[in-house]
Amino acid sequence: MSTQTANYVDGIPVREILPNAKFVGGQSVNVNSCCGQWDECQAGDLYVAILGAELDGHDFCPQAIENGATAVITERLVATNVPQILVQDSRQAYARICHALAGGPSQRLTTVGVSGSVGKTITSHLVQSILEVAGHTTGRSSSLGVSVGKNTPTLPRKPLNPPLIAEQMAQMAMNDCTHAVIEVSSRDLAKRNFAGVELDVAVLTNMRDEDIDFHGTRQNYKRSQLRILDSLKPTGMAILNLDDPASHFLVESCTSPVLTVGMTQDANVRGQLLERLDSEQTFMVVTGSESVAVRTQMIGDEHIYNCLNAVAVGLAQGIDLQSIAKGLEQGSKLPGRMERIECGQDHGVWIDTAKTPVQLATALRTIRQVVKGKVWCVCSIVNDQSHEHRKRMGEVLDLAADNVVVTRDSVDSAIDYEPMHQMFDGFEEPQKVQLIPNRFRAIEWALGQAGPNDGVLVAGCGERPFALLGDENWTIADRDVCEAWLFDNASIDSNFTSPDIYRIDDYR
């Protein structure tokens, strides 16, 4: 992807963007456009050679130059007849150049970055809700979509990369946003995709053993997560969870000001559960001499932590506690995130995106806190998971659920049973597991088996459709199937009809 700017006639001096770079073959290089893919280079581009998992961009400098690149950024010397700029980390250099070409949107916005093992998406939306209640026009980029300002449609989020983030933030600034809230994963931090963003507030929700398939080791994972703190502006503030063991020890070592949150530790922002039902919970938020009660439709201790993180962001922005509480309550329900499906049934049903061991354990623990009977789980096999990942999923399900249905996150015709059996390696009680590849049938079976006061978690897809049916590509999500079955079987008025609810036979 080529990134360019129209704000500079002669281009931005690269030395201003990368003051520590070494220049070879030219001491004055200006940039009007840059590109990180040799085969997408155009005339006048600055080519950035990036070392990838499979290919090394340094090997393609000649091709990039042939396509029109007038200079190259590299991490090592290469044979070239154009100016060469040596840097320690070309990914980071690329990100900084992209943001400079976009006009430095971080300087025109108050920026909030949210990372962590679980809770990133919900925390991002809670922060946006609080900021908007306080009167701020807020852009957001999260896994639920991208919004770049008022009266603009929310678009699906594409995989993040430096030019895309820079473009989105520039659009937010042009649309008169005052704030930007950006959810960032540990993978994006590891790839330096976030390097060009400068943050006023960095939220680290928690650090648990997550995504080891990608990072290789726990140390690499935690090292990547901590990169979000490196993105703080000199005046920026970090928000850390004092109850999280891995985050607890960062408080004293963090060089930026810190606001802490917690439910058990003496944090700056504390939460205390007052009441929890299967459809809502009420908790007290205490900070200094102030306190306020908050009622949310989403339940669980994890959601309280998400709320506390959002409270800390609001306080850091000078928002009063009553407005913060209003923002929490207005933003406390998100599609596919511990979303409760209520159709008059005598047992609880939730859908959630959980597809990692930590996410799954969090969701099941939340349901266990509110149901009196058994916990049932419909769990998905995802294609890009490793054998070890699936085994860990099985271990979580073995410990946290009473009955499990293993299925797929799609209904394509090809069925590979091996990935499903890999999850069985984590079970000491495999007799509690049913293997039903057809997701429609898997959900239907679990709902039909659950008894009064039981809880059913349908995990893996959340709000994302898993099937297209009919000539009109009718999109089907877990919510649709659950509602159809429940309305067919729940004890409600037999004359009840809704144009938005189909019968379960429609899905068979």
Residue 9, pLDDT score: 56
Here the CATH number for the domain that contains residue 169 is 3.40.1190.10
Residues 243 and 282 in one domain: yes
Here the CATH number for the domain that contains residue 91 is 3.40.1390.10
Residues 154 and 273 in one domain: yes
Could you tell me the mean pLDDT of each successive run of 10 residues in the chain, 508 residues long?
55 92 87 93 94 89 94 93 94 95 95 93 96 96 91 85 94 96 92 92 86 70 86 95 87 89 95 92 96 94 96 97 96 88 90 90 93 94 82 92 89 74 87 89 93 94 76 78 86 48 54
Token code pair at residue 435 = 């293997």
Residues 40 and 96 in one domain: yes
**Beta-bridge partner residues of 405:** 378, 434
Q: Please, which contacts does 408-416 make with residues 24 or more away whose CB atoms are closer than 8 Å? A: 408/380, 408/381, 408/437, 408/439, 409/355, 409/380, 409/381, 409/382, 409/439, 409/460, 409/461, 409/466, 410/439, 410/466, 410/467, 411/438, 411/439, 411/440, 411/466, 411/467
Q: Which domain holds residue 91?
A: 2-101
Residues 80 and 118 in one domain: no
Residue 473, pLDDT score: 64
At which of 277, 306, 330 does a domain end?
A: 330
Dist CA 285 CA 314 (whole Å): 13
Residues 311 and 166 in one domain: yes
At which of 66, 101, 136 does a domain end?
A: 101
The pairing of beta strand 339-340 with beta strand 348-352: antiparallel
Residue with tokens 């299967």: 278
Residue 333, pLDDT score: 83
Residue 496, pLDDT score: 46
Residues 6+ apart with CB under 8 A from 154: 144, 145, 146, 147
Dist CA 388 CA 318 (whole Å): 45
Which of 439, 463, 241 shows the shortest CA–CA distance to 337?
463
At which of 297, 330, 363 does a domain end?
A: 330
- Per the structure, how many domains does the chain have? 3
Widest CA span in the chain: 81
Residues 44 and 146 in one domain: no
Residues 31 and 126 in one domain: no
Residues 319 and 423 in one domain: no
Residue 16 Cα distances to 31, 70, 93, 100, 163, angstroms: 11, 18, 12, 10, 19
Here the CATH number for the domain that contains residue 409 is 3.90.190.20
The pairing of beta strand 474-476 with beta strand 12-13: unpaired
Residue 499, pLDDT score: 47
Residues 97 and 112 in one domain: no
Dist CA 396 CA 386 (whole Å): 16
Residue 464 Cα distances to 163, 326, 354, 442, 502, angstroms: 26, 28, 12, 17, 18
Taking CA 302 as the corner, what is the angle to CA 298 and CA 307, rounded to the nearest 5 degrees? 70
Residue 4, pLDDT score: 52
Residues 233 and 348 in one domain: no
Residues 91 and 111 in one domain: no
User: Does residue 436 contact residue 406 with C-beta atoms inside 8 Å?
Assistant: yes
Residue 288, pLDDT score: 92
Residue 142, pLDDT score: 93
C-beta neighbour count of 286 within 10 angstroms: 17
Residues 93 and 154 in one domain: no
